[in-house]
Structure 1
Amino acid sequence: MKVLIIEDEPSMREILERALTKERFVVETAEDCSSAMRKFGVYDYDCILLDIMLPDGNGLELLQQIKKMGKKDRVLIISAKDSIDDKVTGLNLGADDYLAKPFHIEELVARVKSLIRRNNNSQTRLSFANIDIDESAFQAFVDDRPLDLSRKEYDILLFFMYRPNRLIHKEALAENVWGDHIDQTDNFDFIYAQIKNVRKKLSESGASAEIKSVYGFGYKFVET
């Protein structure tokens, strides 16, 4: 799952990034409205953490822009401004939740997870063919037998489990599983290596689904 933190205070941004990364989210950050807008134009996110007070604009105005772009990303406003007017305005503009600073990190993480579950129809267990994933435990199963995956292998399989029988471009896969780090590479060899590992483990476990290559495009997760 991919999260964008829009927060201008470096220490708070670092705390949030560390906490959400620990919970196995792919985390990207932006320190102002302009850098956030650049990201919106390229990426989609499962959840956006949005501060109201930003150095080059107002977070509520940024929220309006997000909605005008037709983005479906869940938005959690995090702000030191704990006023009823800000809460009402934010929710009326399309925010999904509002959390005033200071807050407990545990509560923020719980709210992010809740918003993402809501966006995914409250699913915590996914099934396709004879493969299951228990998201609450970060565990994949084939015929109810645990599948031993590394963190990135699990993230790849989870990405496909949400998109069975759909054509997936390799760039979309990379952006969702690796986030900002995708910009630091010149090729996709690391993706090919990870996909190869997932395929091998699915095959050896007796899975009745596989990740097929679609020449010139990317991949498709299908039953065999």
Structure 2
Amino acid sequence: MKILIIEDEKDMLQNMQETLVKENYLVETASDLNAAISKVGVYDYDCILLDINLPDGSGMEILNFLKENEKTEGVIIVSARNSVDDRITGLNTGADDYIAKPFHMAELNARVKALLRRKKFDGSELLKIGNISIDTEKHIAQTGYGEMELNRKEFDILTYLATNQNRLVSKSALAEHVWGDHIDQADSFEFIYSQIKNLRKKLKDVRAEVEIKAVYGIGYKLTLT
């Protein structure tokens, strides 16, 4: 899962980032409005943690940008405890939740998990396709024939393809979702081919009733066999 933190307080930003990275999320950051607009204009995120009071403008502009561009990122507003008006305006503009400063990082983690469950899995931490069950909380994928031994990237690829079942996912979208901004440094998609090859073998080993189909030159989709 990919998260963008938009926060100008350096210590707060660092604490939030470290907390979410420990939970195995792919985390990117922006400390001002211009940087945030640049990121959400190019990349897609599962969740955005949005501070309303930014040094070069209001975080509300991010909510308006998402709405105008029909983007579906889940947004949690991070606001000062006395900023009731900001929270109400943000929720009315399209934010999904809010958390007031100061807060415990455990609460932040719980809010993020709750939002991701609502957005991706209709409130459940289990995603089932055919005979395979994917536990997004415990990072486990298994069938009745055994548990798949997946590294983090393989699990992220499988989950992303599963949430887009039967939909063609381009190589660039897959790479950007799993590898984030670092994809810009890559010369090719060879690293994806390698991960997909390993993932196919591991699906076969547990007799999964799904397969990863390649559409030459475009991308992949997960389908039932």
Above 0.5 in TM-score?
yes
1:82, 1:101 within 8 Å by CA — same for their partners in 2?
Answer: no
Alignment map for 1:33-112 (pairs within 5 Å): 33-80=33-80, 82-112=82-112
> Which residue of structure 1 aligns with residue 164 of structure 2?
163
Distance 1:150 1:65 in 2: 35
**For 2:117, what is the secondary structure of its paired residue?**
helix
**How far apart are 1:82 and its partner, in Å?**
2.4
Shift of 1:208: 2.1
Query: Who is 1:25 aligned against?
Result: 25
Q: CA deviation at 1:34?
A: 0.9
Correspondence for 2:197: 196
TM-score where L is the length of structure 1: 0.94
In structure 1, give the amino acid aligned to 2:86.
D
Task: Output the CA distance in 1 between the equivalents of 2:186 and 2:12.
Answer: 28
Shift in Å, 1:63? 1.9
Aligned to 1:3: 3
Task: Report the Cα offset of residue 61 of structure 1.
Answer: 2.9
* Distance verdict in 2 for CA 1:89–1:12, change over 3 Å: same
Aligned partners of 1:140 and 1:185: how far apart in 2?
Answer: 28
Cα pair 2:145 2:207 within 8 Å, conserved: no
Partners of 2:181 and 2:15 in 1: CA distance: 18
Residue 5 of structure 1, CA deviation: 0.5
CA distance in 2, matches of 1:189, 1:126: 28
Partners in 1 of 2:165 and 2:87 — Cα distance?
38
Structure 2 Cα separation of the partners of residues 49 and 67 of structure 1: 16
* Greater mean deviation of Cα atoms: 167-176 or 138-147: 138-147
Cα shift at 1:143: 2.1
**Alignment CA distance shift 1:202-1:50 (3 Å):** same
Paired residues, number? 224
Aligned to 1:15: 15
| RMSD across aligned positions (CA) | 1.4
Q: Deviations over 1:169-202 (max 9, x none)?
A: 0111111111112122121111111111111111
Aligned partner of 1:129 in structure 2 is 130
The question of whether the paired residues in 2 share the 8 Å contact of 1:130 and 1:143 is answered with yes
* Cα distance in structure 2, aligned partners of 1:49 and 1:33: 13
The answer as to 2:182 corresponding to 1:176 is no
Q: Give the TM-score taking structure 2 as reference length.
A: 0.94
Q: What are the Cα deviations for residues 32-54 of structure 1, in whole angstroms up to 9, with x where unaligned?
A: 11111111211221111001111
Of residues 104-113 and 1-10 in structure 1, the stretch that sits farther from structure 2 once superposed is 1-10
Distance 2:209 2:70 in 1: 37
Unpaired runs of 5+ residues, structure 1, are none
